[in-house]
């Protein structure tokens, strides 16, 4: 076999591999865009009021159960209470009905309370890890958290 013939076969093989790799890359869907918000997730958010003064009745953290199939969010909060020995009190669980819209970054969603008046601020949700985890950011606040698929 001549040297030119070998180079031609090698170039064709490399070109075929490149075409296959490009095709596979183009045909793969983006994980952030395809992560559907279905089922439920359990999560927690922390109200990181660093340097701010707490007043009675203000939540310091919350346990969440988000059900995307029926658009409900259950919230169990702990609030500041100066009359309690440790300064905190658990609050009764309450449920919020919500709607979803496109969020601020690609692949994200905004959860909005549909009640009037609203009980909670809007949440920005970003599915990560193939949708197994959802990062939570409360809009216009310093509150963040995470929700894990159930």
Alpha-carbon torsion 82, 88, 89, 94, what sign?
positive
Same domain, 145 and 82: yes
Are residues 18 and 60 both part of a single domain?
Answer: no
Q: What are phi and psi of 95, to 5 degrees?
A: -115, 140
Identify the H or E element spanning 133.
strand 133-138
Asked whether the predicted pLDDT for residue 50 surpasses 80, the reply is no
Residue 119 confidence (pLDDT) above 80: yes
pLDDT attached to residue 89:
86
**Quick one: which H or E segment has residue 6?**
helix 3-27
Answer with the residue of higher pLDDT: 93 or 33: 93
Tell me: do 145 and 108 sit in the same domain.
yes
40 plus 28 within the same structural domain? no
pLDDT of amino acid 135: 96
pLDDT of the residue at 25: 55
Say what the pLDDT of residue 1 is: 55
Supply the CATH number for residue 105's domain: 2.40.128
Containing structural domain, residue 59? 35-149
Average pLDDT over residues 44-70: 83
Q: Which percentage of the chain shows pLDDT scores above 90?
A: 47
Residues 54 and 8 in one domain: no
**Predicted pLDDT at 22:** 62
Number of domains in the chain: 2
Phi-psi region of 15 (alpha: psi -120 to 50; beta: other; left: phi over 0): alpha
Say which DSSP state 120 is in: S
Least reliable range by pLDDT among 9-13, 14-18, 27-31, 134-138? 27-31
pLDDT at 96 (0 to 100): 94
pLDDT attached to residue 32: 42
């Amino acid at each position: 076999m001549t040297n030119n013939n070998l180079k031609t076969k090698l170039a064709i093989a490399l070109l075929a591999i490149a075409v296959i790799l490009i095709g596979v890359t183009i045909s793969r869907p983006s994980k952030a865009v395809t992560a559907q918000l279905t089922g439920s997730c359990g999560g927690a958010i922390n109200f990181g009021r660093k340097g701010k003064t707490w007043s009675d009745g203000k939540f310091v953290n919350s346990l969440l159960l988000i059900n995307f199939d029926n658009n409900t969010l259950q919230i169990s909060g702990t609030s500041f209470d100066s009359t309690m020995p440790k300064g905190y009190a658990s609050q009764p669980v309450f449920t919020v009905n919500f709607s979803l819209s496109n969020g601020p970054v690609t692949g994200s969603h905004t959860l909005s309370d549909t009640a009037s008046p609203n009980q909670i601020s809007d949440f920005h949700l970003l599915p990560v890890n193939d949708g197994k985890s959802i990062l939570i950011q409360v809009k216009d606040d310093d509150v963040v958290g995470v929700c894990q698929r159930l």
